[in-house]
Chain A
Amino acid sequence: MSTGLELKDVSISFGGLKAVTDLNFSIFPGELLGLIGPNGAGKTTVFNLITGVYTPTSGRISFNGDSVSSRKPEGITRMGIARTFQNIRLFSSLSVLDNVRAAMVMHLKHGILHSLTRGPAFLKEEGSVEDEAMALLDIFGLKDACHANAKSLNYGDQRRLEIVRALATRPKLLLLDEPAAGMNPSEKDDLMKLIRFIKERYNLAVLLVEHDMKVVMGICERIAVLEYGRKIAEGTPKEIQSHPKVIEAYLGAAAVVD
């Protein structure tokens, strides 16, 4: 069964604060959904709910029919949901290649004892892991830097490596948390091309949480808008741009009159 990610009446409150209220939306396989909203609207909270950092107070989050909530982050990744981080969280003491290898651990057939016996099957798998990692790095233009330390990369490359690392977990759904943050316009253009490319190539569903309207409007097929923890609109970029509630949320009530 492949129904993608589904949020049904999801709410979470921190003490008396209702951060997200009765949120409903779905991401279908192979779809690129944007999640936008003014500061403090609850975008990151939604992200943390899906990735298992928070557990919803009520409601249900499911991925291809299986419940996501109550699983640990690593369990959710094993379901096929990978993420990147808003503030880059690479494994800073490891090389570029090893960052990718570390993300492939969960697919290994061989465990710790095989690493001691170092039999032919183990060495073969080590080789194939390295080949797969190198192939991924090659696609994203990071192959030449594969032995460099991850933190020695420039900002744009670090963001790209985060995406490569997430892809190495072989996800079906990729969650991108503000990938354009801190990028200049030409880097943003490259990022848009990159997101489109990985979506097509790996047939991924993508959830993009982003502040930058140009990026969101440029690549998303569907957009959901949050304000004060509630969904106020959902539709194509065109519909969203002319939606009165969205304009009100971003520009204030007076703007709608004109």
Chain B
Amino acid sequence: MKRYTTQIVLLVVVLLSLGISVLSGKFDAYYMDIALNVGINIILAVSLNLVNGHTGQFSLGHAAFMAVGAYGASIFTLEMSARLMPLLGGPGSFATGVAFLLALLVGGLCAAVCGWLVGMPSLRLRGDYLAIVTLGFNEIVRVILQNTSGDGVFGGPLGLKGIPPLTTFFWVFAIAAICVYVVGSMVSSTYGRGFPAVRDDEIAAGSMGINTVRYKVTAFVVGSFFAGLSGGLYAHLRTTISPEGFNFLKSFDVVVIVILGGMGSTAGVIIAAIVLTVLNEFLRDFEQYRMLVFSILLIVMMIVRPQGLLPSFPILNRKKSA
């Protein structure tokens, strides 16, 4: 029993989110919406934490991968799902669910492929090249999407509208739980000790037989995949997406969550995602000062608690041998 504890916890969270999802009609729609935002931000932050926190690389373009996932999933739903319905056994909640899952996976895989293409050349180098490359990639994705034709599949500067609202509490939190599980298990395994080794000292890691490039690319591709999934969820929650929604400021928001939560601390990052998303809602009346508040928060944190809310420790606590 004990060896499967982590899987059981995962299953419980997934079932719990299914339960809450079924009862979602009974909750206030406004609070449900905030909860879904929290979940999407948890996926974004935990996946970025794998790259920035655990592996010590600095990606500033998480929103770009979210955009790729959002567009990939939305276009799949808009173009393909009507055609897929008969194959999946006709219109019905099961067929819709499977089609949505496929759409999310398509979005995630598109983002992962982009992550690989961006990561392969820039992660071969040591140093801060990734920050510059991802910053540029974020702008490239946004500008390309903005310059597509208004009647094409990408919808041009106005983006896509009329995406079916398929995102429910279940989808968001099941995927958030899977994301936490995947990142946690990866990092805490012996294989995964390579990630912090690369972060702490890349030269020493190489000398210990660790293939540093492969580790960095793996972290980046997995991080991009989950960013893509969160993009798909976001698109099917808001029902409209536009290139402007995935600009640099969105990437910056995620970086702030990771830094406040504590680089390399999954639990800390989850707490920060909750706190900052809720804070965002409270600051809605002071929209123009939002970045001001975040920046001050960041500066204060850097001075008072540079290691983040929680120090880094593996979320899946390993047995302590005597």
Query: Could you tell me which A residues sit within 8 Å of B by CB distance?
Result: 51, 72-74, 77-78, 82-83, 85, 89-94, 98, 101-106, 108, 110-112, 114-116, 118, 120, 122-123, 125-126, 129-130, 134, 146-147, 165-166, 168-169
Q: In the docked arrangement, what's the CA distance between A89 and B206, Å? A: 12
Q: Provide a sorted-by-A list of 23 A–B residue pairs whose CB atoms are within 8 angstroms.
A: A51-B207, A72-B206, A73-B207, A74-B209, A74-B212, A77-B209, A90-B200, A90-B201, A92-B201, A93-B196, A93-B200, A93-B312, A94-B197, A106-B208, A112-B186, A115-B189, A115-B192, A116-B182, A116-B186, A118-B6, A120-B3, A126-B189, A168-B208
Q: In the docked arrangement, what's the CA distance between A147 and B194, Å? A: 18
Q: In the docked arrangement, what's the CA distance between A101 and B194, Å? A: 9
Say yes or no: B200 contacts A165, CB within 8 Å.
no
Say yes or no: A134 contacts B186, CB within 8 Å.
no
Shortest Cβ distance from A88 into B: residue: B204
Q: Which of A85, A106, A146 contacts B209 (CB 8 A)?
A: A106
What distance in Å separates the Cβ of B273 from its nearest Cβ neighbour in chain A?
22
Known contacts A93-B312, A134-B321: A102-B186 contact under CB 8 Å: no
Q: Indicate if B288 sits at the interface (CB-CB under 8 A).
A: no
Other 20 A-B pairs with CB < 8 A, given A73-B203, A89-B203, A115-B186: A73-B206, A78-B209, A82-B208, A89-B201, A91-B196, A91-B200, A94-B200, A101-B190, A102-B193, A111-B191, A112-B192, A115-B189, A115-B191, A118-B6, A120-B3, A122-B189, A126-B190, A130-B321, A146-B321, A169-B209
Task: Give the total of B residues in contact with A, Cβ under 8 Å.
Answer: 34
Say yes or no: A105 contacts B194, CB within 8 Å.
yes
Say yes or no: A118 contacts B7, CB within 8 Å.
yes
| Chain B residue contacts of A78, Cβ below 8 A | 209
Q: Indicate if B320 sits at the interface (CB-CB under 8 A).
A: yes
Query: Could you tell me which B residues sit within 8 Å of A by CB distance?
Result: 3-4, 6-7, 181-182, 185-186, 189-194, 196-197, 199-201, 203-212, 218, 264, 312, 320-321
| Chain A residue contacts of B200, Cβ below 8 A | 90-94
Q: Which of A85, A102, A118, A130 contacts B210 (CB 8 A)?
A: A102
| Chain B residue contacts of A146, Cβ below 8 A | 321
| Chain B residue contacts of A130, Cβ below 8 A | 190, 321
| Chain B residue contacts of A168, Cβ below 8 A | 208
Shortest Cβ distance from B201 into A: residue: A89
Say yes or no: A129 contacts B186, CB within 8 Å.
no
**Of B4, B192, B206, most A-chain CB atoms within 10 Å:** B206
Say yes or no: A94 contacts B196, CB within 8 Å.
yes
Known contacts A94-B197, A94-B200: A103-B208 contact under CB 8 Å: yes
Say yes or no: B193 contacts A98, CB within 8 Å.
yes
Shortest Cβ distance from B178 into A: residue: A116
Say yes or no: B209 contacts A108, CB within 8 Å.
no
| Chain A residue contacts of B218, Cβ below 8 A | 112
| Chain A residue contacts of B196, Cβ below 8 A | 91, 93-94, 98, 102
Q: In the docked arrangement, what's the CA distance between A108 and B200, Å? A: 21
| Chain B residue contacts of A111, Cβ below 8 A | 191
Q: In the docked arrangement, what's the CA distance between A70 and B6, Å? A: 43
| Chain A residue contacts of B201, Cβ below 8 A | 89-92
**Of B7, B201, B218, most A-chain CB atoms within 10 Å:** B201
Say yes or no: A102 contacts B197, CB within 8 Å.
yes
Q: In the docked arrangement, what's the CA distance between A122 and B185, Å? A: 12
| Chain B residue contacts of A118, Cβ below 8 A | 3-4, 6-7, 185
Say yes or no: B210 contacts A106, CB within 8 Å.
yes
| Chain B residue contacts of A83, Cβ below 8 A | 207
| Chain A residue contacts of B212, Cβ below 8 A | 74
What distance in Å separates the Cβ of A226 from its nearest Cβ neighbour in chain B?
22
